[in-house]
Amino acid sequence: MNKFKIVCITPVKNEEWILDNFLKCTSLWADKIIIADQNSDDNSIGIAKKYNKVVLVKNNNPKFNEPERQKILINNARKIKGKKIIIALDADEAFTADAVKSNEWKKLYNLEPGTVIYFKWANILHGCDKYWLALDNMPFGFVDDGSLHKGSPIHSPRIPLSEKSNKYYSKLIVMHMQYTNIKRMKSKHRWYQCWERLNNLERSAVDIYRQYHHMDSVPKKMIGIVPNNWFDDYTRKGIDFKVKMHNTSNYWDKLVLDMINDNGVDAFRKEQIWDFDWVEKAKEYKYRKLDNFKDPRTYYEKFIHIWLKITQPYFKNRFVNIVDKLIMKYLKF
């Protein structure tokens, strides 16, 4: 009766490509899984309904709002009676297979209420045979004490955090599967760049590019071979992350089209989103004025984007930093 219940909280919007695998994995360790669906128009809801541990709730906000969606998730997790450990994962994340039977869970049960649990975060690359480990452990877990969650508009902490919180660094590893679906990842990151431009007007396009192309600057020495035990038990249970992902449409593309249509191409001319054929995509979604989606960049703006791409693996280099600052200062980029 005194044992903690482990509740996973997960926001979902059009995650059909990976949701089934996520729920199969999460059902192995979670007592309940709170899914807050934000108006998915794929089969995400149908997949979620197949799982007994899932509590499906609605997030009807049409806009991107991380603090609100986390509030929905946390409030619904707190409706579950008893002591709780809340673990906040996205649908493209899963603990390694060997974590499910780890003795580490017993240590979590002994943590004081209010403790924030940090996990190692491994970014799995396309093919699921290589990965790179994030430099910082991620605060994805929380021994619930009813604390208020304070979020930020984007890249928000998923659980309540404060400077006074106790911290526990777990040995469990969360696998991040975003980079296994490269097409979808690039689509999402183009949307991030456009969101930054509309919501952080003073931020330079150089900084935005560097942040949302970070995967292109991971040193080779940080990339390792995925250990067999990260996937073996899942494979034996019929959970296969290595199969070809569903070729579902990327709703992020439609969101970017709407941004361009509403704000004009000039609003995003300095963001490197123009490595994609927006005219063809606009034709697919039956926009009428296709000329409104043509690449507006000048030759010098295209040259700067070439510079950013070539130097991304070395963006911390002193010479590259100096050139970046000159571009920002004198070319207002």
Q: Confidence band (pLDDT; 50, 70, 90) for 162? A: confident
Q: What angle separates helix 182-199 from helix 205-212, to the nearest 10 degrees?
A: 150
Closest CA to 11 of 52, 58, 49, 47: 58
Cα–Cα distance, 15 to 3 (Å, whole number): 32
Q: Which of 161-165, 183-187, 294-298 has the lowest mean pLDDT?
A: 161-165
Burial string for 26-55 (b: 16+ CB within 10 Å, else e) reads bebbbbbbbbbbbebebbbbebbeebeebb
CATH topology of domain 5-123+132-177: Spore Coat Polysaccharide Biosynthesis Protein SpsA; Chain A (3.90.550)
pLDDT at position 144 is 96
pLDDT at position 248 is 57
CB count within 10 Å of CB 298 equals 9
pLDDT at position 249 is 60
pLDDT at position 245 is 56
Q: Confidence band (pLDDT; 50, 70, 90) for 3? A: confident
pLDDT for 94 beyond 90:
yes
Domain span(s) for CATH 3.90.550.10 in the chain: 5-123+132-177
The answer to whether 253 touches 287, Cβ cutoff 8 Å, is no
The whole-number average pLDDT for the span 185-205 is 96
Cα–Cα distance, 85 to 64 (Å, whole number): 26
Q: Which helix (H) or strand (E) holds 241?
A: none
pLDDT (tens digit, 9 = 90+) per residue, 228-251? 999 999 999 999 887 655 555 678
Global pTM reads: 0.94
The answer to whether 12 touches 36, Cβ cutoff 8 Å, is yes
pLDDT at position 1 is 42
pLDDT for 225 beyond 70:
yes
pLDDT at position 243 is 65
Q: Confidence band (pLDDT; 50, 70, 90) for 177? A: very high
pLDDT at position 91 is 96
Cα–Cα distance, 6 to 230 (Å, whole number): 21
Q: Confidence band (pLDDT; 50, 70, 90) for 151? A: confident
CB count within 10 Å of CB 14 equals 21
The whole-number average pLDDT for the span 110-135 is 95
Mean pLDDT of the chain: 93
